[in-house]
Structure 1
Amino acid sequence: MTFAGFDARLDRISTADRFLIVPMDHGITMGAVTGLKDIEATIDGVTRGGADAVLTQKGIASRVHANTNGAGYIVHLNGSTTIGPDENDKRVTGTVKGAVRAGADAVSMHINVGSTYEPDQIEFLAQLTEDAADYGLPVLAMAYARGPGVEGDDPEALGHAVRLAEELGADVVKTGYSGDGASFQHVVESTRLPVVIAGGSRGTNRETVEMVRGAMDGGAAGVSMGRSVFQHDDPEAIATAVSAVVHEDADVENALAAAGL
C-alpha cells in the first residue's frame, strides 16, 4: 500500500511510467564544470527538451525551482569528490527532512555495490528508504557495480546491484548500461523496480541516442543522464532527442531529426 502523496510525487518525476531524469549533482563531485556554472539556463533547457525531472544536491534548490518548467525535482543525499582520497567513498550529505524543506519530489542515493564502502552504503540506503517512507517520498537508488574485480558493465553484476536496491526498499533504480539491449534484459528482469540507465561521459549525439534506444529495447524504463545532456552544446536539443526515444518510442534517426541533430 502506498500513500496518495507517494503516487503524486512519482508522477511528477516521470511520464506514463517512463523516466528522463537529468542529474546535475556533479558540482560536488567535479566542481563547476561546463553546463553547471549557469545551472539555471541548463535546467530551463533540459526541461524544455522533455526532461521529467532534474536532480541536484540540496544547496542548489533555490536555483532550481524557477527554471523547471513544471518538471519534478530530486534531491541527492550523498556524494564525494574527484580530488578526494577515493571517489567511491560516498558520504551522506543530507536528510529526507531537509530534502522536503528544499521542495523535493523524491530523493536519491548512490551505492557502489562491490566496493570497499558497500557495507556502509547499504546501511545508508536502508535508512534512507525507511525515512522516506514516513514522508511518502520516492527513492531513486543509483546502484552501480563498482569495486575490485567488478566489471561495471557485466550484466550479472548489474543485475545484483539493481536487485539489492529493491531488497533495500528503493522505488526506482539507476545503474550502468551493459552495452546492448539483449544483455540488459537480464538486468531489468532481476528486479520489479523501474530500471533507468546512467549516461556516463559524453559521446556523440548518435552514440547517446543509440545507447538510449538499446536500453529501452532491453526493457529499461528510461534514463538518468547527466554529463551526456548538461555538457552538450545544446542541452535542450539532446534532451529532445532522448525524450523522443523514451517517451515516444522513436527510432534513432527520427529522434535525431526531431531534435535537429
Structure 2
Amino acid sequence: MTAGHLARLTRISTNDRYLIVPMDHGITMGAVTGLKDIESTIDAVTRGGADAVLTQKGIAPRVHPNKNDAGYIVHVNASTTIGPDENDKRMTSTVKEAIKAGADAVSLHINVGSNYEPKQIEDLATLTAEAGDYGIPVLAMAYARGPGIDGDEPEKLGHAVRLAEELGSDVVKTGYSGDGESFTHVCESTRLPVVIAGGSKGTDEETVRMVRGAMDGGAAGVSMGRSIFQHDDPEAITRAVSAVVHDDQTVEDALRAAGLTIEA
C-alpha cells in the first residue's frame, strides 16, 4: 500500500471506522426527498459526523463546498428503477474522471448471483487495477442478489464480501444478515473492513439498533443512504449512528445524545 493510498483511506474513515453516506440515488431513483437540495443534506450529515459522502461524478461541484472537510467517494456504475433491470449496473466513470472530480476513493456495485455477475466481476477487477495505478482506494458494494438468492443469508453475504477481497478491493459494503451473531460469519469471511448498507428508512431505533448489531458482529461501520439522507433531521440521525460506530455507545445512549426519541 502506497503512502497516497493510505492517506486517502484515512480521509474516508476515522481510526479505521467508517460512516459513509451514499447519495448516488439520484441516478437510480431520481431527485427523491433529501436529494433535491443535496447541498443542505451534505452539510448536515458531515456536521453530524459522516466520514465521507458518495455521489456520481456529475454531482461533485455540489459536494465540495458543503462537505465540511469530510472525504468524498465517486461511484462508478449505475442503473435506474425505470430501466429494464435494476441489477444491470453499467459503468459511469473511470478512476481518472473520479480523480478529476476530487475523489478520495471510488466505489462500484456488484450483484453477486445475478445474471450480470460475470460482467460486474470484470468491471470490479478492471477498476481495482486502474485504481491501484493511482493509489485510489476501492469500496466494493457487494450484494447477494439474483434469482432464488436470499440476500440476508450469512453464507451468501460472506461469499460476496470474500469476492470483493479476492478482486483487490479495500473496503466492502454488503447487506445485513439481521443480527450480530450471524453477521460475525460475514465479517470473518474477509480481512477487509466490512460496512453495512442501510436500506429503506426505518424508525430511529431500528436504524441505530441495526448499526449496533452489525458493530457487535465485527463490522467496521456503515454506508447508509436513505436511512440518513431522507430523515427529517439528517444531522441528528448521523450523530446517533456516529455515536455507535465511533464511540461504541449503546442504542439508548446514542439516541439520547443525538436528541432523538427513544421508543417506549
For normalisation by structure 1, the TM-score amounts to: 0.99
The letter for the 2-side match of 1:6 is H
CA distance in 1, matches of 2:76, 2:39: 21
| Alpha-carbon separation, structure 1, partners of 2:161 and 2:146 | 16
Identity, in percent, stands at 81
Partner residue, 2:96:
97
Partner of 2:112: 113
Q: Which SS does the other structure have where 2:159 is aligned?
A: helix
Letter aligned with residue 46 of structure 1? V
* Structure 2 Cα separation of the partners of residues 250 and 46 of structure 1: 19
CA shift at 1:18, angstroms? 0.1
The alpha-carbon deviation at position 31 of structure 1 amounts to 0.1
Counterpart in 2 of 1:163?
A: 162
Partner of 2:27: 28
**C-alpha distance in structure 2 between counterparts of 1:212 and 1:107, whole Å:** 23
> d(CA) in 2 for partners of 1:25 and 1:66?
17
1:183 matched residue in structure 2: 182
Matches of 1:123 and 1:258 in 2, distance apart? 44
Aligned residue for 1:170, secondary structure, equals: coil
Give 2:239's aligned residue: 240
Is 1:124 aligned with 2:89? no
Q: Does 1:173 align with 2:192?
A: no
Distance in 1, Cα, partners of 2:36 & 2:4: 33
CA–CA distance in 2 between the matches of 1:152 and 1:260? Answer: 33
Spell out the pairing of 1:1-261 with structure 2 (5 A cutoff).
2-261=1-260
**Deviation of residue 252 (structure 1)?**
0.2
| Cα drift, residue 79 of structure 1 | 0.2
Q: Following the alignment from structure 1 to structure 2, what is the Cα–Cα distance between the partners of residues 70 and 243? A: 16
Deviation at 1:255, TM superposition (A): 0.3
What amino acid does structure 2 have at the position aligned with 1:172? V
Question: Which whole-Å deviations, capped at 9, do the CAs of 1:161-191 have from their partners, x for residues lacking one?
Answer: 0000000000000000000000000000000
- TM-superposed CA distance for 1:35, in Å, is 0.2
- 1:61-98 deviation per Cα after TM superposition (whole angstroms, max 9, x unaligned): 00000111110000000000000000000000000000
3-state DSSP of counterpart to 2:246: helix
What is the identity, as a one-letter code, of the residue corresponding to 2:168?
G
Which whole-Å CA distance do the structure 1 matches of 2:130 and 2:231 have between them?
36
TM-score by length of 2: 0.98
Structure-2 separation of matches of 1:35 and 1:3: 36
Question: 2-side partners of 1:7 and 1:130: how far apart?
Answer: 16
Instruction: Give 5+ residue unaligned stretches, structure 1.
Output: none
Q: After the TM superposition, which segments of 4 or more aligned residues of structure 1 sit over 6 Å from their partners? A: none
Point out where structure 2 has 5 or more consecutive residues left out of the alignment: none
CA distance in 2, matches of 1:22, 1:215: 16
